[in-house]
């Protein structure tokens, strides 16, 4: 049921993206906002569902296999979208994208994060699948299982590694690039998922753990917003 749900989200987002391309090409700002919003919605909704499958046996093989598979699927179906505020900051910082357009895309990403969370909570409330039972009663299921300093450093490091890999992979054939990026994300999740969740995406972090941001805003904003964003600004000094 979870796999069917996530597949349905992917199909629906694909249809919305196609319709947006056909009807709104002449309105570049609205087009950019909607495409980024639909794409980020897909990633946030699917990852919310995947987070419920982390304890499915055999652990952690099932969760890692699903992470790899859906990351490949996202890469193939969401070409042209960053779905990550950190990825949007890079061209803005480098002058390739205007500040207004960058802010518009980041706004779209956070709107999608909120919409995806609300949508998934509605689906979970229907309790159509076993993993959904009791999902809404968990509150802040904190992914941070280490000190704030260590969590900050982990998310910062993972953000730098991920963004460097994306830049280096630009010259790789797209059909191979998506698998390389998916493999890297799976490895990072395996390495740090039990410590911070290995999210390195501010919009996705908010969609997954909004309750934790309400309860401990300062620490969570430092680890899941500031750290990955800072990693983006360190990229030019690493290259």
Q: DSSP states of 85-148 as a string?
A: HHHHHHHHHHTSS-HHHHHHHHHHHHHHHHHHHHHHHHHHHHT-SGGGTTGGG--------S-H
Whole-number Cα distances in Å, 144 to 107, 116, 152, 154 = 25, 22, 10, 11
pLDDT confidence of residue 239 = 62
pTM of the full structure: 0.94
Biggest alpha carbon distance in the chain? 49
**pLDDT at residue 237 is higher than 80:** no
Buried b (16+ CB within 10 A) or exposed e, 206-239: bbbbbebbeebeebbebbbbebbbbbbeebeeee
Cβ pair 194, 146 in contact under 8 A: no
b/e sequence 32-63, b meaning 16+ C-beta within 10 Å: bbbbbbbbbbbbbbbbbbbbbbbeeeeeeeeb
Percent of the chain whose pLDDT exceeds 90: 65
Domains of the chain: 2-237 (1.20.1080.10)
pLDDT digits (tens, 9 = 90+) for 106-144: 999 999 999 999 999 999 998 888 888 888 877 777 889
For 63-103, write each residue's pLDDT tens digit: 899 999 999 999 999 988 999 999 898 888 777 788 999 99
Q: Nearest 5°: phi and psi at 64?
A: -70, -40
25/205: higher pLDDT: 205
């Amino acid at each position: 049921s979870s796999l069917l749900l996530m597949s349905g989200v992917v199909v629906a987002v694909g249809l919305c993206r196609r319709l947006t391309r056909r009807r709104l090409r002449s309105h570049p700002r609205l087009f950019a906002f909607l495409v980024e919003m639909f794409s980020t919605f897909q990633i946030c909704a699917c990852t919310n569902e995947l987070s419920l499958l982390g304890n499915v046996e055999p652990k952690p093989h099932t969760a890692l296999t699903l992470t790899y598979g859906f990351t490949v699927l996202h890469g193939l179906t969401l070409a042209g979208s960053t779905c990550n505020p950190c990825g949007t900051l890079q061209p803005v910082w480098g002058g390739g994208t205007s500040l207004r357009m960058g802010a518009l895309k980041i706004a779209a990403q956070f709107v999608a994060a909120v919409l995806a969370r609300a949508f998934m909570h509605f689906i979970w409330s229907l309790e159509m699948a076993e993993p959904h039972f009791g999902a809404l009663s968990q509150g802040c299921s904190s992914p941070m299982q280490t000190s704030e300093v260590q969590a900050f450093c982990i998310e910062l490091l993972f953000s730098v590694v991920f963004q460097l890999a994306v830049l280096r992979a630009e010259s790789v054939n797209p059909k191979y690039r998506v698998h390389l990026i998916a493999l890297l994300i799976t490895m990072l999740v395996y390495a740090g998922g039990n410590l911070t969740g290995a999210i390195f995406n501010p919009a996705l972090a908010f969609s997954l753990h909004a309750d934790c941001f309400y309860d401990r805003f300062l620490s969570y904003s430092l680890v899941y917003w500031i750290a990955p964003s800072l990693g983006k600004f360190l990229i030019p000094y690493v290259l």
